[in-house]
């Protein structure tokens, strides 16, 4: 079975802190994605990556950056956390054009 | 961007078939139709996808209209474990846009 793991299920940070969300997949997938999910807004794509050291902006990249130094790991970085970044963050990986496999999510609260 | 329209919620009885509709009238020729579902407190889970022909897998069937402007996800025998939010998504080159989905309630 494909496994996508995220570093934390719950995280509480203060406004202005730098936040790292880690995602690891164990199936050698080329593609990895970061989404956030908010009530009434569904899932929105933040960034995705087709290969190591490559990244593409999604719908809402502002306030976020990403890093993919190794194929299995895709990190989402909040340079200076703000309260409007309180959300559920979901990572996914995909071997090809179809079938994204999602992790369990990290619920981030910024106070 | 091509978008999809789904009912906000649906109810079904356990062990009965469920037909979840999706409208995508602005679909382009290269858009695949994907369905995912999200169980409570979990990340979304891939269900099925198709382009033009109807598709079947162990989880569900996907019926696609001839003009591709609508599709229907079919769960042949709903179980309590099928209670989830179901998302119909158009996928073009890994660019997926999740909408609000349909919340399916399954009654025993």
Of residues B94, B97, B98, nearest to A97 (C-beta)? B94
Q: What is the largest CA-CA distance in chain A?
A: 38
Chain B nearest C-alpha distance from A47 (Å): 11
What's the pLDDT score for residue A2? Answer: 66
Taken as a whole, chain A contains a residue count of 111
The 3-state DSSP class for residue B104 equals strand
What's the pLDDT score for residue B91? Answer: 84
Chain A nearest C-alpha distance from B79 (Å): 22
- Answer whether A20's CB lies under 8 Å from A8's CB: no
What's the pLDDT score for residue B94? Answer: 66
Alpha carbons B102 and B71: distance in angstroms, whole number? 14
- The pLDDT tens digits of the residues spanning B39-91 come to 988 899 999 999 999 999 999 999 999 999 999 999 999 999 999 999 999 98
- The pLDDT tens digits of the residues spanning A77-91 come to 999 999 999 999 999
Alpha carbons A48 and B91: distance in angstroms, whole number? 14
Structure tokens at A89: 């963050």
| Per-residue CA distances from A37 to A5, A70, A88, B26 (Å) | 17, 25, 5, 25
Q: Would you call A4 and B87 a contact, using CB atoms and an 8 Å cutoff?
A: no
């Amino acid at each position: 079975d494909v496994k996508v793991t995220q570093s934390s299920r719950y995280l509480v940070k203060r406004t202005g802190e730098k936040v790292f969300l880690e995602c690891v997949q164990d199936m050698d997938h080329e593609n990895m994605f970061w989404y956030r999910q908010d009530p009434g807004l569904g899932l929105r794509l933040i960034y995705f990556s087709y290969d190591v050291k490559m990244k593409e902006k999604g719908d809402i990249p502002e306030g976020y950056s990403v890093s993919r130094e190794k194929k299995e790991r895709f990190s989402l970085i909040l340079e200076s956390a703000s309260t409007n970044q309180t959300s559920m963050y979901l990572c996914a990986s995909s071997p090809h054009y179809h079938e994204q496999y999602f992790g369990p999510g990290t619920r981030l609260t910024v106070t | 961007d091509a978008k999809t329209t789904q009912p906000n919620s649906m109810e079904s009885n356990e062990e009965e078939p469920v037909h979840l509709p999706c409208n995508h009238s602005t679909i382009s020729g290269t858009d695949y139709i994907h369905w995912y579902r999200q169980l409570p407190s979990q990340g979304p889970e891939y269900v099925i996808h198709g382009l033009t022909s109807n598709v079947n897998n162990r989880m569900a069937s996907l019926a696609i209209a001839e003009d591709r402007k609508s599709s229907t996800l079919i769960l042949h025998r709903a179980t309590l474990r099928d209670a989830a939010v179901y998302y119909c998504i158009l996928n073009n080159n890994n660019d997926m846009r999740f909408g609000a989905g349909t919340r399916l309630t399954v009654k025993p």
